[in-house]
């Protein structure tokens, strides 16, 4: 009888411990949460995006993360700001899954090392020519033989510049102008100091607003006016969103989800230019001390920069542009359209 009582007491003690121990362990942090969030996070695919700030891709990625649209779509976006000069090694070395970069650089420099696919528009072609406001220069033709500042020779604006001027104007930019390359950030100071006679680039709403409203430069032309004047193209990318072909092929559904989510963010930005009032955005783009005129100009330019044609139309136009670059001797190898673009299966 005593043995039975002892056995019963021991059984009760074990039952109580079985019930209470998990709660105690959870309270003191020895066990995870009931919803297994860490396990869930481990199963959620992570998409690492490299973007140049400021750029359409960078801003859209920030919106996606802020709105948690990535989680809604079933993935987790990790944003890594990157300099233009680092874009090629970043994508070829596997540091990022997706990156914003010059379309021509992607085909010229990356594709031989690691085949890539364009999965979305990153930035529309809208690249002005700037001069100081007191300059007598009235058009880009007036800069012939003069020092023209541009960004990196492998960067989006310059590579687009090369093809457009050669194909539409018969101009070899390296012969027509005295090209002087520098970083995006250095263009404005160099023009203000008179180190260059004009500048080409600053192809974002932020860059244009800073050049016109802060530095007081005047615009004497835009590459888009030359490119689109004969109606051959409806839209082209200055900056494309690319991913390794192997990654896209292995993660096709994820690539489509990312594309859809990215264009959702673009649409939101278009409708909400006041996003530039966000302190975090202003900090990321060095706009914390920006004048009201600069911010107002940025907001004025936003809708135009975030209005895109259908992806299918862009694919047709962009591939035709690559063919034009190849015809002009500015592109050697050109993979097929199916190899270069994310297309419906």
* 186 and 315 co-located in one domain: no
Q: Is residue 16 included in any domain, yes or no?
A: no
Tokens of 212: 């016109």
Rounded CA separation 253/69 (Å): 16
Mean pLDDT of 105-113: 81
135-181 pLDDT per residue, tens: 999 999 999 999 999 988 877 889 899 999 999 999 999 999 999 99
Residue where one domain finishes, among candidates 210, 228, 246? 228
Query: Does residue 262 carry a pLDDT above 50?
Result: yes
Q: Is residue 200 included in any domain, yes or no?
A: yes
* 306 and 216 co-located in one domain: no
Mean pLDDT of 124-138: 96
Query: Does residue 73 carry a pLDDT above 90?
Result: yes
Produce one character per residue of 130-167: b if its CB has 16 or more CB atoms within 10 Å, e if not: bbbeebebeebebbeeebbbbbbebbbbbbbbbbbbbb
Q: Is residue 259 included in any domain, yes or no?
A: yes
Closest to 104 (Cα-Cα) out of 93, 116, 89: 116
89-104 pLDDT per residue, tens: 899 899 999 999 989 9
Query: What pLDDT score was predicted for residue 41?
Result: 59
Q: Is residue 265 included in any domain, yes or no?
A: yes
Helix H or strand E segment including 48: strand 46-51
* 135 and 221 co-located in one domain: yes
Query: What pLDDT score was predicted for residue 108?
Result: 85
If pLDDT is split at 50, 70 and 90, which confidence band does 222 have? very high
Query: What pLDDT score was predicted for residue 252?
Result: 97
Query: Does residue 247 carry a pLDDT above 50?
Result: yes
Neighbours of 289 (CB within 10 A): 7
What is the signed CA dihedral for 72, 75, 80, 85, rounded to 10 degrees? -120
* 204 and 150 co-located in one domain: yes
Rounded CA separation 161/223 (Å): 7
Domain of 203, in residue numbers:
128-228
Q: Is residue 22 included in any domain, yes or no?
A: no
Stronger pLDDT, 5 or 113, i.e. the higher one = 113
Query: What pLDDT score was predicted for residue 115?
Result: 92
Rounded CA separation 229/231 (Å): 6
Query: Does residue 88 carry a pLDDT above 80?
Result: yes
Closest to 97 (Cα-Cα) out of 339, 218, 259, 316: 259
If pLDDT is split at 50, 70 and 90, which confidence band does 58 have? very high
pTM: 0.84
* 101 and 62 co-located in one domain: yes
For helices 252-271 and 292-305, what crossing angle results, to 10°? Answer: 130
299-342 pLDDT per residue, tens: 999 999 999 999 999 999 999 999 999 999 989 899 999 999 99
Q: Is residue 174 included in any domain, yes or no?
A: yes
User: How many domains is the chain partitioned into structurally?
Assistant: 2
% of the chain at pLDDT higher than 90: 73
If pLDDT is split at 50, 70 and 90, which confidence band does 130 have? very high
* 305 and 245 co-located in one domain: yes
Query: Does residue 251 carry a pLDDT above 90?
Result: yes
Query: Does residue 43 carry a pLDDT above 70?
Result: yes
Do 324 and 107 contact (CB within 8 A), yes or no? no
Query: Does residue 28 carry a pLDDT above 50?
Result: no
Helical segments of 76-222, H only: 87-92, 103-105, 156-169, 173-176, 187-193, 205-209
To the nearest whole number, what is the mean pLDDT of the chain? Answer: 87
CATH number for the domain that contains residue 59: 3.40.190.10
Q: Is residue 2 included in any domain, yes or no?
A: no
* 207 and 258 co-located in one domain: no
Query: What pLDDT score was predicted for residue 274?
Result: 98
* 243 and 332 co-located in one domain: yes
Residue where one domain finishes, among candidates 228, 247, 277? 228
Mean pLDDT of 50-76: 96
* 177 and 106 co-located in one domain: no
Q: Is residue 70 included in any domain, yes or no?
A: yes
Do 73 and 260 contact (CB within 8 A), yes or no? yes
* 66 and 142 co-located in one domain: no
Mean pLDDT of 233-239: 93
* 99 and 248 co-located in one domain: yes
Residue where one domain finishes, among candidates 171, 196, 228? 228
* 282 and 135 co-located in one domain: no
Examine residue 54 and say whether the peptide bond preceding it is cis (omega within 30 degrees of 0). yes
Tokens 């264009």 correspond to what residue? 263
Q: Quick one: CA dihedral 313, 298, 200, 243, positive or negative?
A: negative
Query: Does residue 25 carry a pLDDT above 90?
Result: no
């Amino acid at each position: 009888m005593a043995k039975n009582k002892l056995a019963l007491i021991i059984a009760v003690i074990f039952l109580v411990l079985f019930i209470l121990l998990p709660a105690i362990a959870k309270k003191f942090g020895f066990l995870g949460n009931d919803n297994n969030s860490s396990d869930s996070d481990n199963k959620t695919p992570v998409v690492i995006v490299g973007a140049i700030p400021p750029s359409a891709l960078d801003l859209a990625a920030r919106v996606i993360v802020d709105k948690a649209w990535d989680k809604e779509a079933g993935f987790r976006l990790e944003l890594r700001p990157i300099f233009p000069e680092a874009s090629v090694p970043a994508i070829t070395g596997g540091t990022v899954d997706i990156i914003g970069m010059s379309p021509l650089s992607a085909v010229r420099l990356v594709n031989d090392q690691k085949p890539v696919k364009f999965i979305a528009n990153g930035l529309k072609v809208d690249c002005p020519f700037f001069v100081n406001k007191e300059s007598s220069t009235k058009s880009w033709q007036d800069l012939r033989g003069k020092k023209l500042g541009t960004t990196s020779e492998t960067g989006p604006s310059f590579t687009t510049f090369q093809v457009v001027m050669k194909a539409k104007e018969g101009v070899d930019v390296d012969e027509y102008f005295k090209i002087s390359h520098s970083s995006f950030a250095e263009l404005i100071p160099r023009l203000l100091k008179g180190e260059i006679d004009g500048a080409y680039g600053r192809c974002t709403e932020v860059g244009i607003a800073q050049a016109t409203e802060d530095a007081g430069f005047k615009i004497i032309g835009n590459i888009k006016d030359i490119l689109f004047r004969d109606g051959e193209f409806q839209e082209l990318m200055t900056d494309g969103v690319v991913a390794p072909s192997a990654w896209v092929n292995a993660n096709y559904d994820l690539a489509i989800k990312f594309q859809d989510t990215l264009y959702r963010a673009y649409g939101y930005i278009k409708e909400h230019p006041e996003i530039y009032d966000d302190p975090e955005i202003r900090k990321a783009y060095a706009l914390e001390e920006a004048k009201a005129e600069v911010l107002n100009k940025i907001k004025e330019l936003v809708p135009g920069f975030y209005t895109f044609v259908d992806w299918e139309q862009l694919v047709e136009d962009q591939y035709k542009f690559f063919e034009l670059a190849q015809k002009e001797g500015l592109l050697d190898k050109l993979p097929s359209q199916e190899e270069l673009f994310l297309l419906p299966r």
